[in-house]
Amino acid sequence: MKIAPEIVLSDEERATLERWSRGRSTPARLVLRSQIVLLAAEGKMNQEIAPRLKTALKTVSLWRRRFAERRVAGIEKDAPRGGRPKTGKRMARLIVEKTTQERPANATHWSTRTLAKYLGTSRSMVQRVWKANGLKPHLTRTFKLTTTHASWRN
């Protein structure tokens, strides 16, 4: 059986955690984490804290350990999560450049599909960037005059 790390708080840490645990505008996850650490600092065991706060034993163990390792900063923000890395800013800049400065071969303007395929990204990414930047390459901004006179003016 693993032994939970002992939690000893400084006066400043205790004040911060108590403020967070009672704050009405504090996010619920931060309230719970603060309460876990405060009860741990009172000498309570994880098996006592979990049912008292109506949370899982694993949750109590995680935040107690994270506080012991990184103190207040360890519970304030979530750790980075896995997943595909963001390519957003660079790709967005490239989408805007291509849309505004180049024309596709054999076409008058880019479509979300053709530009996405050309750049190797998704159509939804192209659409989001166009919307965020107010780009509408499918709309023409020219005024066309007719070659015939209007007969209704007579």
Task: Please identify which residue in the block is written with the tokens 């002992």.
Answer: 6
**pLDDT confidence tier of residue 140, bands split at 50, 70 and 90:** low
Could you state, in order of their start, the residue ranges of all structural domains in the chain? 11-76, 84-154
143 has a pLDDT exceeding 80:
no
* Cα 44 from Cα 51, distance rounded (Å): 12
**Tokens representing 126?**
């192209």
Q: What is the pLDDT of residues 64-78, one digit of tens each?
A: 888 888 888 878 777
Q: How far is CA 122 from CA 2, 32, 56, 88, 105, in A?
A: 47, 39, 39, 12, 20
